[in-house]
Amino acid sequence: MPDFALSFALFFGLLLAMIGVGLWLFVAIFLIGIGALYFDAGYSLMRIGLLLQTTTWSAARAWELSAIPLFIWMGELLIRSNIASAVFEAIAPITRRIPGGLVHANVLGSTLFASVSGSTAATTATIGRITLPALKEQNYPRRLSLGSMAASGSIGILVPPSIPLIVYGVLAQVSIGDLFLAGLLPGLMVAALFMTYIAAISLIRGTDKAVTPPETLRSGARRVLDIMPLAAIILAVIGGIYTGLATPSEAAALGLGATLILIAFRGQISVRLLRETLQGTVRVSCMIGILLVASGFLSSAMSLLHIPQQAGAAIAALELSPMTLIFILTVFYLLLGCVLDGVSMMVMTLPITAPMAIAAGFDPIWLGVYFVLTMELGLITPPIGFNLFILRGITGETISKIALAAIPFFLLLCLAVALLTVFPQIALFLPSLS
């Protein structure tokens, strides 16, 4: 046990130190793996090179990875079009009739947009730019508006299609289709918790009345019709995956093709749009790809050094209950969320934490949803969660103000983690039907 604890502390200490001095994460991961094999296992550089060659090829050729650039490009196209604005305008007539009014548009808009984006940053930035100015103009409580947007943007990494769930599926060799099924109900649960809180606090504070005149039925119907094509894309992508008619990669290709047709039909297609969206897609996809390759190499190095087996033995020796282990892991990911984004957290830690949790008896599919949900927590962990900085850039508000606004939703996400842990069927029910 002491040897494992020392190795664990040294591993993360060196990794965080290298990141702290400005080294790229994938380089730091490669160096940690190479150093561990060279100094600890006595591998020659030639042998390490051969292992790196094998793991690079194995990680890079996974067919499941083809879904990532397709979903990212689809999200990029929707971000740079005015489709997100149409979503907000269609939601507005509905939310005005609910206690909390248009603040619910943060939650509903983020949930819908997440269904075609899969990116937290994209969801937060896109929906936030649309809803927050409108909420401020119509005198909705500023703190509630900011907090709900910071938290709702994180739904983008849980509601399918989710880029982190794809990454987890590739790293843990778990069915991505099953992971998408597993993420749906927890994502809807989080959205329901947020909306319930918004309605309750609005009723308590007396801010539940609409502050703008309601839309006419005809106007509202027209706006709902405006987003029917987007709804059709969502249904095609998600329905194809859930019914088993299409793999995630095939569904991504179908959704991308439909998105291109929709944007062309709306008269927004242009060479500039295609160039900018493809550039953004290549940048993000390459970042995720190189991190997956680095993580694959690190996983192989950890296996050769028997780190997962040592981790399992250490957990068994401590005789920790599964709930205690999950609590420790949750605190660990909360701390990491203060300094890293979700995908980086996953590729850094999964080679060690996943075997520990699976050895403790947790289902790998459930574990993927749990990891992503704890990443959501990290994204709004005061005072330096990633989503808080995105909102600062959009609104110009101070980090302290946004962090204080996000605290109630942070606590709601903690409740969601607890519910998922106590009632694992929230995640496992839909996969069990497939």
Q: What is the pLDDT of residues 132-159, one digit of tens each?
A: 888 888 888 888 988 888 888 777 677 7
What does R_g of the chain's alpha carbons equal in angstroms?
A: 22
Helix (H, G, I), strand (E, B) or coil at 412: helix
Residue 364: predicted pLDDT:
92
pLDDT of residue 211: 47
Give the distance from CA 143 to its chain's centroid.
24
Residue 420 has what pLDDT? 93
**CB 126 within 8 Å of CB 79:** yes
Question: Phi and psi at residue 140, in whole multiples of 5°?
Answer: -75, 155
Structure tokens at 22: 């400005």
- As a whole number, the mean pLDDT across the chain is 79
Q: What is the pLDDT of residue 309?
A: 63
Helices and strands: H and E segment counts in the chain: 21, 0
Q: What is the model's pLDDT at position 1?
A: 44
Predicted local confidence at residue 308, as pLDDT: 61
* Amino acid 314: pLDDT: 65
The stretches in the chain having pLDDT less than 50 are 1-2, 210-212
- Cβ contact 152:127 at 8 Å: yes
Please state the domain extents for the chain: 2-433
pLDDT digits (tens, 9 = 90+) for 227-237: 777 777 777 77
Helices (H), 266-385: 271-304, 307-318, 322-337, 342-359, 364-379
Give the pair of three-digit tokens for residue 237.
């992508």
Question: How far is 311 from 71, CA to CA, in rounded Å?
Answer: 35
With CA atoms as reference, report the closest residue to 377 among 346, 413, 404: 413
